[in-house]
Chain A
Amino acid sequence: MIDLLGYQFFQNALIAGFLASIACGIVGTYVVVKRISFISGGISHSAFGGIGLAYLFGFEPLFGAAAFALLSALGIGVASRQGEREDTVIAAMWATGMALGILFISMAPGYAPDLLSYLFGNILFVPASDLLLMAAFDIIICGIVALFYNEFLAMTFDEEFATIMNIPVERVYLLLLCLAALTVVMMIRIVGVILVIALLTIPAAIARQHRQSLHGIMAMATGTGILLTGVGILFSVLADVPSGASIILACAAAYVLSTVIVRARGSG
């Protein structure tokens, strides 16, 4: 373990897990209390279309992912506010993004060597440049949440009353979905588009069981995320198994454990 810390790749992995957990703890809390996990799932899968496009034209995949994630967030948000059935829109975006990604990659010359890492994540190959990008996203997300904390609280608690208070509810909602999109992009490096939804929601869901205020949940979800990605990374290196899968399984195990503890306490 001490030896491992000497390796650059291992340090980067832990830092990436740390940085992603900050965004994930904050935004994941809103995702859980507003019950929009499946919108986040739709956003992350449609981001794969952007990764495919980046392969085809040879630019940085995370930029492609960010563009597609933001567009699908706005698309889902606007369409559902215009009276389209939200679950239908999510399902359509979800599969269309994946289909576009596969199409673009098949059109790109040569073989896509790290394709699996975008689908299932590989935190052990996070380049240092990505860490800077993730830190920048964290700053943007923390700043926006600090500025709009009361607007987000009012909108997620009671949209109708927030409207009467003359808060631009639709724009605030779209802003929240955009934050979810940025968070999803950060996490693609770590767990991949397919597994993002679990890492986004499980730490916040665990924190929800133990904390009673929004900021309390955010803080605990961040800490939980850092701990669980760390455990997942360590297990992945020691057992030589894929990192994305081991992080998600660590999350799932912690969620089950937490639920059992809370239930036992409640009935005791």
Chain B
Amino acid sequence: MTPIISLDHVWYSYDGSPVLEDVTLDVFDHDFLGIIGPNGGGKTTLLKVMLGLLAPQKGRVTVRGGSPAEHRTAIGYVPQYRTFDFGYPVRVLDVVLMGRLGHIPGPFRKYSQKDRNIAMEALEAMGIADLAGRQVDLMSGGQQQKVILARALATEPEVLLLDEPTNHVDVRTEEHFFGILKDLHKRMAIVVVSHDIGAISTHVDRIACLNRRLYVHDSGEITGSMLAEAYQCPIELIAHGVPHRVLAEHGEDTGP
């Protein structure tokens, strides 16, 4: 099976300080992958490398066998909430329509009726079709997060990349949000990045820990040694507050 996204021994550094070291990862169809790691561990950088926004100094990134720039319209990207200027004067539908731009040959890109229909379907999938004409700056944080996800869906992606999608929502909305992702997972692969272990570990099929180096595990279960590897600090500190069921039973704690 050929992966949708493939990273082969990728190294990336900002101004000489390493952020990603020797990262190898394949994302397949039907994957539901969670990537956890501390802040500054390189999670957002990893996503940007996958999208071809950052070029690695060493190693190779392919999307659908080609360069990310060629095939990144196969990726639906949901960036971090705080990177947005939601004060921008724009309607919800217009934001979601931007997800169609990658499929329209330029220059002078104009939306067709088909583009509008796809954008409306994306809003319906998020359950906010009735808000299409609203201004984004008048919406709640949870609704805005759904708008960005709808924009990613409008690209008709084969894989969704989500960067800390539940950082700005309350626990109830978070559950609801992962319910939506579970639904979407029936038709596309999903990669969720988070520093919140508890939030994602109960939902994903496969988990990876990233702290410059990436440790991939083929189950959704988190073990103590995995955390120790990724965070390099006493597990008790991290595991505090994590739902008990996500941690391995005592004695099985043998690691990968």
Contact = CB atoms under 8 A, between A and B. Distances in A.
Interface string B225-247: 00000000000000000000000
A208 B98 contact: no
A213 B107 contact: no
A214 B79 contact: no
A200 to B, nearest CB: 17
A154 B91 CA distance: 13
Contact of B79 (A148, A160, A213): A160
Interface residues of A, number: 26
A212 interface: yes
Contacts of A208: 89
Contact of B102 (A33, A147, A153, A165): A165
Interface stretch (B29-37, B67-75, B174-182, B188-196): B67-75
B94 A153 contact: yes
B98 A158 contact: yes
Interface stretch (B108-116, B205-213, B248-256): B108-116
A158 B98 CA distance: 10
B101 interface: yes
Contacts of A168: 106
Interface in A144-167: 147-148, 150-151, 153-154, 156-158, 160-167
Interface stretch (B19-27, B80-88, B216-224): B80-88
B106 A167 contact: yes
Contact of B89 (A33, A163, A166): A33
A211 B85 CA distance: 17
A69 interface: no
A19 interface: no
A203 B103 CA distance: 36
A211 B89 CA distance: 8
B90 A214 contact: yes
Interface centre among A150, A208, A213 (most CB of B within 10 A): A150
Nearest to A171: B107
Contacts of A214: 89-90
Contact of B98 (A153, A166, A216): A153
A156 B97 CA distance: 15
B132 interface: no
A250 interface: no
Interface centre among B53, B69, B75, B102 (most CB of A within 10 A): B102
B96 to A, nearest CB: 11
Nearest to A32: B89
A150 B90 contact: no
A213 B90 contact: yes
B51 interface: yes
A148 B98 contact: no
A212 B135 contact: yes
Contacts of B83: 160
Contacts of A147: 107-108
Nearest to A214: B89
Interface string B123-140: 000000000000100000
B77 interface: yes
A150 B112 CA distance: 12
A160 B53 contact: yes
A234 B204 CA distance: 69
A144 B255 CA distance: 60
A167 B101 contact: yes
B43 interface: no
B184 interface: no
B95 interface: yes
A166 B102 contact: yes
Contacts of B135: 212-213
28 contacts: A150-B97, A150-B98, A150-B101, A150-B110, A151-B106, A153-B98, A154-B101, A158-B98, A160-B53, A160-B83, A161-B77, A162-B98, A163-B53, A164-B53, A164-B73, A164-B75, A164-B77, A164-B102, A165-B99, A166-B73, A166-B102, A166-B106, A167-B106, A168-B106, A208-B89, A212-B89, A212-B135, A213-B91
Given A161-B77, A166-B69, 8 more contacts: A150-B110, A157-B88, A158-B79, A160-B53, A164-B51, A164-B72, A166-B73, A217-B89
Question: Lowest 6 CB-CB distances: which A-B pairs, in order?
Answer: A165-B101, A165-B102, A147-B108, A212-B135, A150-B109, A154-B98
